[in-house]
Amino acid sequence: MNTASFCFSGSESASSEKQGAGHFTDLRSIAYELHDGPVQWLAAAVVDLEILLASGSLSDTVAERARAAREKIRRALQELRAYIRKWEGEESAPEQCVDLRSEIVELCRLLEVPGRTVRGIFGGNLGVISASLCREVVQLVHEALSNALRHSDSREVWLSLAVVGSILQICVRDFGKGLSASSSGGEGLGLRSLTSRVRRLGGWITIEGAPQRGTRVFACIPVSALSASTENGTFADT
């Protein structure tokens, strides 16, 4: 299998350079905060409502109100994500993701955190990933890396993407404080969002971790997910 690797190590000087970029950097920072905070809480609320509606335990009147609330939250999510794409500078970018490897390397550069290092490796033929699936994968990796960099206290995070047969394998591994039975807040919401996104793509995901032993997120997604006929460069909203 052909492989390639990369490494990004955040530093105080790199952070200062970003601050010096001014208004655009401020907006990008706000976009990341919105994504990792309000968007995750709202997405979790949608998932909770869907579970409640699927249970069949609600009366017709309450179910109707729950469905209306779900749609209102989805509209709010769409508006928030539109702002996030705008503030991340995606408006001037191509609608479709055409090179998964380059997109992931750029994402890691943008997510640099002082004192944290991201080490990555690519394997297999990533060129078989469709443009629409590429966009979903970038968002998925964004969520997983952001979770690890912000919540794990790990000084190093490992990332790997490889196409093995007809499956795209994604692994994010940190060596920080790990998971506990009471994991909640931004970290817990992020993991729920990851699970939901992978399942929507017809894949499966395992999340392993223990206190002070780090966390490992491993996802497998069929390369055929989001066929060429559905490619429009958009994300599937929760």
| Nearest-angstrom CA–CA distance, 102 and 212 | 33
Residue recorded with tokens 């060129």: 127
| Nearest-angstrom CA–CA distance, 41 and 174 | 23
Where are any strands of DSSP class E within 40-196?
Answer: 117-123, 156-164, 167-174
Q: Residue 118's beta-bridge partner residues?
A: 8, 157
CA-based nearest residue to 100, from 154, 169, 33: 169
Residue recorded with tokens 């979790």: 44
DSSP 174-226: E-SS---TT--HHHHHHHHHHHHHHHHTT-EEEEEE-TTS-EEEEEEEETTSS
Helix (H) or strand (E) holding 219: strand 215-222
Task: Region of 178 please: left (phi>0), alpha (psi -120 to 50) or beta.
Answer: left
Asked if residues 89 and 79 have their Cβ atoms less than 8 Å apart, the reply is no
Tokens describing residue 201: 């793509």
Q: Beta-carbon neighbour count of residue 82 at 10 Å? A: 12
| Nearest-angstrom CA–CA distance, 226 and 36 | 25
Tokens describing residue 202: 């017809």
Q: What is the pLDDT of residues 108-122, one digit of tens each?
A: 877 777 788 889 999
The amino acid at residue 185 is G
Question: β-strand 117-123 against 156-164: which pairing, if any?
Answer: parallel
| Nearest-angstrom CA–CA distance, 113 and 101 | 20
pLDDT tens digit at each of 238 positions of the chain: 566 676 766 554 444 444 444 444 566 667 767 776 787 778 778 878 888 888 889 899 999 999 888 888 888 888 887 777 777 654 444 445 568 888 888 888 777 777 888 899 999 999 889 888 888 898 899 888 888 887 788 889 999 999 999 999 999 999 998 876 555 444 566 677 788 889 889 999 999 888 888 899 999 999 987 654 333 333 334 4
Query: Which superfamily, per CATH, for 96-230?
Result: Histidine kinase-like ATPase, C-terminal domain (3.30.565.10)
Which residues, at least 6 apart from 24, have a Cβ–Cβ distance to it below 8 Å?
89
Instruction: Calculate the CA 130 to chain-centre distance.
Output: 18
- Residue 189 pLDDT: 63
Domain ranges across the chain:
28-90, 96-230
Helix (H) or strand (E) holding 102: helix 100-110
pTM of the entire predicted model: 0.61
| Nearest-angstrom CA–CA distance, 46 and 74 | 7
Strand order in the sheet with 3-9: 3-9, 117-123, 156-164, 167-174, 215-222, 204-209
